[in-house]
């Protein structure tokens, strides 16, 4: 996945003199277009009065912007995300293992639950939860948005994590379960003592990346039913600091980017560590949210033409345990 943009590509030759000129020309033209575009937008924003110091300086000069709005908002976002993953993880593990059961009457309902909740937009789940809490419980109004967001995220992400867990277990070499069987373990024991502990390792990076998806989805609560999350703070800030909605949205976007970038980097560091590991199975579930986590079914791994040889992520929908599963010693 990652190699295609750094090392010289197979798609083109090492550039000769003419190609070098052509590339340079294209680089300059494209760069110029980009600069013009950005400059134009900046100019328009300036004309519209969105780049005045008065709109931006509060973020530097007035610490209350941070203490009253942004940091509490960030805390709420993080709180919702943490609750969601902590509750969704065990549920997902149960569902994932259930989907691998030998008994159809366990497998089928688990499969139906997983497929159902993955087919429904998470916003609908949140709206439903919000209304359900209002109608049937006495959760106080001020906490209800948080409950609703967490519930919606848990329902959805438990289903996604079920697939991650399943992928993690299937990514283990068959030797593991064979060996467990050979020493007389039952299926149940094999799962609990051999497969699950190793699958957790393989799943770790995917889990961290799922956190990015969850963090992003919490913003729905801020926009649609009044969770005081990071995104929601933009309207409150712009009510107090002279309609600086562009400035506050930019700052909030930067906070999301930094936060999610840290999480993503942590995930790929983890993935690299686990892959490079000399011992163990080297099996790992892909971390790429575009590949696995926002999608319906984890797609088949793309054997990287330049980095082939390392164990790739396994396709969990494939029934076999052979082949490209983590087969490193």
Partner 1 sequence: MFEFLDFERYDLLGAFWTTVQLTFWSAIGSLIWGTVLAAMRVSPVPVMRAFGTVYVHLFRNIPLTLVIIACAQGLYMALRFSLGGDRPPEIYFRLAILGFIAYTATFVCEALRSGINTVPLGQAEAARALGLRFDQVLTLVVLPQAFRSVVAPLANVLIALTKNTTVAAAIGVAEAALLMKEMIENEAQLFLIAGIFAFGFILLTLPTGLLLGWVSKRVAVKR
Partner 2 sequence: MRIRKATALAATVLALSLTATACGSEDSDTNDNGGSASDNGGSGSDDGGDAGSGGESLTIGIKFDQPGLGLLTPDGEYKGLDVDVATYIAGELGVNASDIEWLEAPSPERENLIMRGDVDLVVATYSITDARKESISFAGPYFVAHQDLLIRADEDVTSEDDINELTLCSVTGSTSAQRVKDDVAPDAHLHEFGTYSECLAGLENGTVDALTTDDAILAGYAAQPEHEGKFKLAGLNLSDEFYGVGLAKEDTDLRDQVNAAIEKMVEDGSWAEFVEANLGPAGYEAEAAPEITETD
- Site residues, partner 1 (CB under 8 A): 1, 4-5, 9-13, 15, 19, 23, 26-27, 30-31, 34, 41, 44-45, 48, 50, 116, 119-124, 127-128, 131-132, 135, 212, 215-220, 222-225, 231, 245-246, 249, 252-253, 256-257, 259-261, 264, 288-291, 294-297, 299-300, 302-305
Least separation, in Å, of the C-beta of 194 and partner 1?
A: 31
Instruction: Find the binding residues for partner 2 in span 81-140 (CB under 8 A).
Output: 82-83, 85-86, 89, 134, 138-140
72 binds, among partner 2, partner 1, none (CB under 5 to 8 A by kind): partner 2
Lookup: tokens for 83: 């609750």
Residue 310, strand partner residues? 308
Lookup: tokens for 44: 């328009």
Residue 327 CA to its chain's centroid (Å): 26
What is the DSSP secondary structure assignment for residue 244, as one 8-state letter?
A: -
Helix locations, the chain, DSSP H: 17-47, 53-56, 58-61, 64, 71-99, 104-119, 122-136, 144-170, 174-182, 187-189, 196-225, 233-240, 245-276
Phi, psi angle pair for 53, to nearest 5°: -60, -35
98 binds, among partner 2, partner 1, none (CB under 5 to 8 A by kind): none
Determine if 68 is a binding residue for partner 2 (CB under 8 A): yes
27 binds, among partner 1, partner 2, none (CB under 5 to 8 A by kind): partner 1
Determine if 274 is a binding residue for partner 2 (CB under 8 A): yes
> With respect to partner 2, which residue has the nearer C-beta, 127 or 246?
246
241 binds, among partner 2, partner 1, none (CB under 5 to 8 A by kind): partner 2
Task: Kindly compute the dihedral angle of the four CA atoms of residues 193, 198, 200, 206, in this order, to the nearest 10 degrees.
Answer: -160
Q: Long-range pairs for 128-134 at CB < 8 Å and ≥24 separation?
A: 128/152, 129/155, 130/225
Determine if 48 is a binding residue for partner 2 (CB under 8 A): yes
256 binds, among partner 2, partner 1, none (CB under 5 to 8 A by kind): partner 1
Determine if 255 is a binding residue for partner 2 (CB under 8 A): no
Determine if 239 is a binding residue for partner 2 (CB under 8 A): yes
Determine if 175 is a binding residue for partner 2 (CB under 8 A): no
Bin 18: left if φ > 0, else alpha if -120 < ψ < 50, else beta. Answer: alpha
Length of the chain: 329
Least separation, in Å, of the C-beta of 288 and partner 1?
A: 7
User: Contact, 268 vs 205, CB < 8 A?
Assistant: yes
User: Contact, 227 vs 218, CB < 8 A?
Assistant: yes
75 binds, among partner 2, partner 1, none (CB under 5 to 8 A by kind): partner 2
> With respect to partner 1, which residue has the nearer C-beta, 177 or 244?
244
Determine if 156 is a binding residue for partner 2 (CB under 8 A): no
Tell me how many degrees the CA angle 227-228-233 measures, rounded to the nearest 5.
Answer: 130
31 binds, among partner 1, partner 2, none (CB under 5 to 8 A by kind): partner 1
> With respect to partner 2, which residue has the nearer C-beta, 79 or 107?
79
Lookup: tokens for 13: 């030759």
Residue 316 CA to its chain's centroid (Å): 18
* Residue 35 half-sphere exposure toward CB, CA atoms < 13 A: 6
132 binds, among partner 2, partner 1, none (CB under 5 to 8 A by kind): partner 1
Binding stretches for partner 2 (CB under 8 A): 47-50, 54, 62, 64-65, 68-69, 72-73, 75-76, 78-79, 82-83, 85-86, 89, 134, 138-144, 146, 197-198, 200-201, 204, 207-208, 226, 228, 235-236, 238-246, 270, 273-274, 277-280
């Amino acid at each position: 996945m990652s190699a295609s943009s750094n090392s010289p590509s197979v798609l083109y030759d090492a550039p000769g003199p003419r190609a070098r000129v052509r590339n340079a020309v294209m680089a300059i033209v494209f760069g110029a277009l980009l600069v013009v575009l950005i400059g134009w937008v900046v100019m328009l924003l300036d004309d519209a009065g969105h780049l005045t110091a008065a709109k931006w300086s509060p973020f530097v000069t007035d610490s209350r912007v941070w203490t009253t709005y942004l940091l509490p908002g960030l805390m709420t976002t993080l709180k919702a995300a943490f609750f969601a993953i902590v509750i969704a993880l065990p549920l997902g593990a149960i569902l994932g293992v259930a989907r691998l059961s030998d008994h159809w009457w366990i497998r089928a309902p688990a499969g139906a639950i997983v497929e159902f909740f993955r087919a429904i937009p998470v916003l609908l789940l949140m709206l439903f939860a919000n209304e359900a809490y209002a109608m049937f419980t006495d959760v106080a109004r001020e906490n209800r948005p948080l409950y609703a967001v967490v519930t919606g995220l848990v329902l959805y992400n438990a289903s996604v994590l079920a697939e991650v867990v399943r992928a993690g277990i299937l990514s283990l070499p068959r030797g593991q379960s064979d060996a467990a069987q050979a020493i007389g373990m039952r299926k149940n024991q094999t799962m609990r003592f051999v497969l699950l502990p190793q699958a957790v390792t393989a799943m770790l990076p995917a889990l961290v990346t799922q956190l990015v998806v969850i963090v992003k989805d919490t913003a729905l609560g801020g926009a649609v039913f009044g969770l005081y999350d990071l995104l929601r703070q933009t309207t409150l800030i712009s009510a107090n600091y002279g309609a600086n909605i562009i400035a506050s949205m930019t700052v909030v976007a930067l906070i999301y980017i930094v936060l999610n970038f840290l999480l993503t980097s942590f995930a790929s560091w983890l993935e690299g560590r686990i892959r490079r590991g000399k011992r163990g199975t080297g099996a790992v579930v892909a971390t790429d949210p575009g590949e696995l986590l926002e999608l319906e079914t984890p797609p088949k791994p793309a054997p990287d033409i330049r980095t082939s040889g390392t164990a790739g992520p396994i396709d969990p929908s494939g029934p076999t345990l052979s082949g490209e599963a983590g087969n490193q010693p």
